Amino acid sequence: MSTSILEPTPQAAPEPPEPERHWKDFFGFSTDHKVIAIQYFVVSFAFYMIAGAMATTIRVELATPDADFLGYEHYNGVLTLHGTMMIFLWIVPAGAAFANYLIPLQVGAKDMAFPVMNGLAFWLVPPGGALLLLSLLAETPPSAGWTSYPPLSLMTGQVGQMMWILALLLLGTSSILGGVNFVTTILKMRIPGMTLYDMPLFCWAMLATSLLILISTPVLAGALILLSFDLLAGTAFFNPTGGGDPVVYQHMFWFYSHPAVYIMVLPVFGIISDVLPVHARKPVFGYKAIAYSSLAIAFLGNIVWAHHMFTSGTPGWLRMFFMAATMVIAVPTGIKVFSWVATIWGGKLRLNSAMLFAIGFVSMFLVGGLSGVMVASVPFDIHVHDTYFIVAHFHYVLFGGSVFGIYSGLYHWYPKMVGRMLDETWGKVHFVLTFVGFNLCFFPMHILGLQGMPRRVVQYDPAFEDINRICTIGSIILAVSTLPFLYNAIRSWFWGEKASANPWNALTLEWQTSSPPIIENFEEEPVLWSGPYDYGIDSEPEEDDRSVAELLAEVKAEM
């Protein structure tokens, strides 16, 4: 499927002279951030579909209380790879895809700070993904869950588990290299005159994300190095039979993997903050509050990891500290949600697919945020930890949050990236199916968990069968919902309506160049003539009554 998206790339070649974009660029090592971004998009979407297919098989298995579809042999392997791939090969690289495409354009640069390193970072992803896929064919695939807690992970298949570790090391390295590039580009390569407060909020979000990547991902690498010694060399860092301590692994793992949640959702916060004002035709509400709250979330995200271990080997006082720290995150997150609602309130909403997914994001993420505050509470978390309540919670954050946001971003920037518009009707069909399927699949899981169904089980109490059936039906609708998007994306690539440079009349810099942008982005250095979200100047009676479109045209003419 990935190739079918890639093939039509010659269409994307811009007419202007100078160095031409060649379709072969997309299949080899490129240093152009836009090419790398498309490569990220296509590869991560391909893995999304693979991991999504795995999710569907999991749900089909769980349609009945017995282990009768995947069975005991395959269930845990599929479960482990579903989680690992969705995180490390879909949401994280999809965030990197947006970052690659947008950061240089939004700060008015010609490319990333370190283009070669950028290409290298991308090319670590396919081998990592291939390793994970191949591990399915190992005698025993990695089957200790995406958390791979020892001692279980030391007792399942050695080969499969080691492939899992290597894949994560590759993907982690890719992520770190990306982070170095994003930080440097954002801090050092803005056009003259663009202060940090003139940046689009996506750049703020990526700044926070990159800091999180740089601080936390290396610690995961440390944990995986120790785990691989236990696995291969016979040490006992995490193995109690040799005096080691499995709880230390949990600490190191979550020191990365909790921030990883913010690594996955912060870029999407940035996307939403950029999409909502454009289609609401209204300035973003509380720019600085949203910008700072990203940094606050990044900071707090680093000191809450042990809330994943409230029922593990953590002493009571530690549980209390991490409960308090975790709850505090509700404050910056709440600020964002309120600000988004206030942004669309009173606007003139263009309810196109990008906007629907953006509003859908706010609505679904809210549910994940509310259940997030609940599970921060230690006495309650003790009940629901490792149950379907948690499964529901993190799917609301990572699917209802991240994936809705990614779709919103795709509908919003597709015209810029491809030079053609997506079809709105199919976009709306896609949205409705996704929204219905998602809620049908994941909302009932809250109740399952509260009632007593643990997660990661292939067989369960028959009392839960009815609710599980609903979830399975939802998951199938969700799987089907991908098809209209795929059809739309491929069809529009060839035959979509041609997109102008600025089809949405947006104000950020990426819309000041052609669609798709020329090889080094801008004909001349772009001019920062307004803030990123200065909408509504035409409704100010004092000023002239030209529309944004006219102003933009004027600026273009002056250039």
* Residues with Cβ within 8 Å of residue 285, at least 6 apart in sequence: 339, 340, 342, 343, 345
Nearer to other proteins, 482 or 505 (CB): 505
Determine phi and psi for 128, rounding to 5 degrees. -60, -45
Nearer to other proteins, 234 or 557 (CB): 234
Nearer to other proteins, 212 or 489 (CB): 212
Rounded distance between C-alpha atoms, residue 30 and residue 230, angstroms: 38
Minimum separation from the CB atom of position 1 to other proteins (A): 29
Minimum separation from the CB atom of position 7 to other proteins (A): 27
- Closest C-alpha among 381, 388, 375, 368 to residue 456: 388
3-state secondary structure 88-125: HHHHHHHHHHHHHHHHHHHHCCCCCCCHHHHHHHHHCH
Minimum separation from the CB atom of position 177 to other proteins (A): 7
Nearer to other proteins, 5 or 266 (CB): 266
Rounded distance between C-alpha atoms, residue 559 and residue 330, angstroms: 45
Nearer to other proteins, 42 or 509 (CB): 509
Nearer to other proteins, 25 or 42 (CB): 25
Rounded distance between C-alpha atoms, residue 367 and residue 482, angstroms: 22
* Dihedral sign (CA 145, 58, 428, 501): positive
A 10 A CB-CB count for 461 gives 13
Instruction: Report whether 502 contacts 552 (CB < 8 A).
Output: yes
Nearer to other proteins, 9 or 326 (CB): 326
Minimum separation from the CB atom of position 48 to other proteins (A): 24
Q: What angle do CA 470, 476, 481 make, to 5 degrees?
A: 125
- For the chain, the first-to-last Cα distance in angstroms comes to 41
Nearer to other proteins, 283 or 301 (CB): 283
Rounded distance between C-alpha atoms, residue 399 and residue 78, angstroms: 19
Nearer to other proteins, 10 or 242 (CB): 242
Minimum separation from the CB atom of position 317 to other proteins (A): 6
Minimum separation from the CB atom of position 42 to other proteins (A): 23
**Distances from the Cα of 272 to the Cαs of 200, 279, 341, 465, 537, in angstroms?**
11, 11, 11, 37, 22
Rounded distance between C-alpha atoms, residue 189 and residue 104, angstroms: 8
Rounded distance between C-alpha atoms, residue 479 and residue 59, angstroms: 11
Minimum separation from the CB atom of position 477 to other proteins (A): 21
Nearer to other proteins, 1 or 225 (CB): 225
Rounded distance between C-alpha atoms, residue 227 and residue 249, angstroms: 8
Strand partners, 521: 518
Minimum separation from the CB atom of position 285 to other proteins (A): 6
Instruction: Report whether 148 contacts 164 (CB < 8 A).
Output: yes
Minimum separation from the CB atom of position 110 to other proteins (A): 6
Query: Could you tell me if residue 214 is left (phi over 0), alpha (psi between -120 and 50 degrees) or otherwise beta?
Result: alpha
Minimum separation from the CB atom of position 31 to other proteins (A): 7
Amino acid letter, residue 294: S
Amino acid letter, residue 512: Q
Minimum separation from the CB atom of position 183 to other proteins (A): 5
Instruction: Report whether 71 contacts 143 (CB < 8 A).
Output: no
Nearer to other proteins, 48 or 95 (CB): 95
Minimum separation from the CB atom of position 4 to other proteins (A): 31
CA 145 to chain centre: 20
Rounded distance between C-alpha atoms, residue 518 and residue 17, angstroms: 9
